[in-house]
Chains A and B, each alone.
Chain A
Amino acid sequence: MSLLAKSLVEKTLNEALSTGADFAELFAEESYSSVLSVMDSKPFSAQVGRQYGAGVRVHFGTEEVYITTNDLSERGLIRAAQTAAGAKPTGTRKAAPVVLGDAAPTTYDGFHQYGQMPWEVDREQKFKFLLGLDQTSRKTSSLVTQTEPRLIEKVQRVMIANSEGLFVEDVRRNFRTFLEVYVEDAGKKETYHKNEWSTTNPVFYDALNGQELAENTTKSALTLLRADFAPAGEFPVVIDQGFGGVIFHEACGHGLETTSVAQDASVFCGKLDQKIADSCVTAIDDGTIAGGWGSLQYDDEGRPTQKTTLIENGILKSYMVDRLGAQKTGYQITGSGRRQNYKFAPTSRMRNTYIAAGNSSLEEMIRDVDLGIYAKDMGGGSVSPGTGDFNFAIQEAYMIRKGQLAEPVKGASLIGRGIETLGRITKVGNNLKLSAGMCGSVSGSIPAAVGQPALLVSKILVGGRAS
């Protein structure tokens, strides 16, 4: 059954166009979310939430109006459409009456392997998995003082229609388990977290090696207990596969979204077809990877997602473009319009963003460094696209001394400037891997994958402790 009747959607869009808007869109949503957690080796909490609402978006030229409501009755939607239409009236209606086609069906493909919904799965089964993580962590080391295993489930049902006749419905599913392990030795405390995820199967944890997840998280926490602080200053850094891709996400990715490019607030503005990175760098943003954490059948403007080559052999080939961004810049839409939920108007955002595999091996890169850092696992980061200043944190790292891995180090942010740092990626590895993350920006927090093979950055500022 559709979230909203087609006739009501058409009526709402027509009302939104009544004062001269050029474009109108309705995004409606009904979502389920659940968070289960374990604490002190016992089930601790279970929260369930349901989101329900819609956003009416209209464009007067390139000016945007966005109105939200929780009232999906005809009265509520028409009132929202009238508020949108009345925000910036330019005269009388210009657009033709909206006629929607039949809703494009949700396809049963790599995006959707329908089975059970999370609310149909026995909660005891979920807690059993989380308690297993806790028990394995505690068995791995007597220094474990606390664990926080969590299971986060989200099912988002959306309906997107616009005045150009687009009408789609979709169901998106995101399931993620986190484990945070606290350890303490002689008054010294540390913590570490890792996660696993699925976009298709709510009982993904059945196929997951929970023992390995718990043991590895605990071992990483123990490594930090014996680690000293990273040094301060500029060093060569080898950044390993997977979440290491946060370097590209922050150093470059956000600056290639028309969110910043269209307002001349990116250091990458006007650099299309120019060399912005070493020729060993090819970077891609792909919303079509089957089962990918950031994959979508339709973006949040209702368009099919695409695979977009951003940088090819160091040359900037494309930005990530949403509808409004395309209107402002003239670039082709890339199916990159995204939003957290109906409370946000969409804007161009990343999906699964990664640096393509190269030819070097991790061992070769480490051998090339006389004194530097091997960043095995990364934390989050941020960027100011207007200045290009970016940063990200290292979670688990080791010194490299004379081409060999040496002692573990901890606690440092790495900082740089986008174009400068891209030019310092001198080797790209052959071990590509993608990892899941949540990306926060003007249209909220969305699932986005980052990825890369191992990279060698010849010089970057390490914010460790100065002696």
Chain B
Amino acid sequence: MPWILNASGPIFVQLIEHLQNNIVSGKYDPGQKLPSVRDLAFDAGVNPNTMQRALSELESTGLVHSETTSGRFITEDKKMIDELRASLADSLKQEFFINMGKLGFSEKEILQFVNQNSTAK
């Protein structure tokens, strides 16, 4: 997945979101070693200090941990990853309901709409 960054919002926050998505979607496996800060920064086309900051924040949540000599690794705690995935999905759902509400959809209509959409496929 390419790194898509918006003009607004701090860059390190967007990097965190991208890395989180890679972890919960299984693009990075639990316990997997992450590329170096420099390689990640190069890949994303961002400043290495900004990437470093994103990784430090992820470390403070426990999702990523670093071993002094061998680098940074994704957590092996699958439960933690699943919980993060659920909470990210939940906030997308909330946002979807709010936005549909702005279009004048009632909760019932929204549920109908989602069902229609999935059966149409």
A binds B: no
Contact surface of A with B, Cβ cutoff 8 Å: none
Contact surface of B with A, Cβ cutoff 8 Å: none
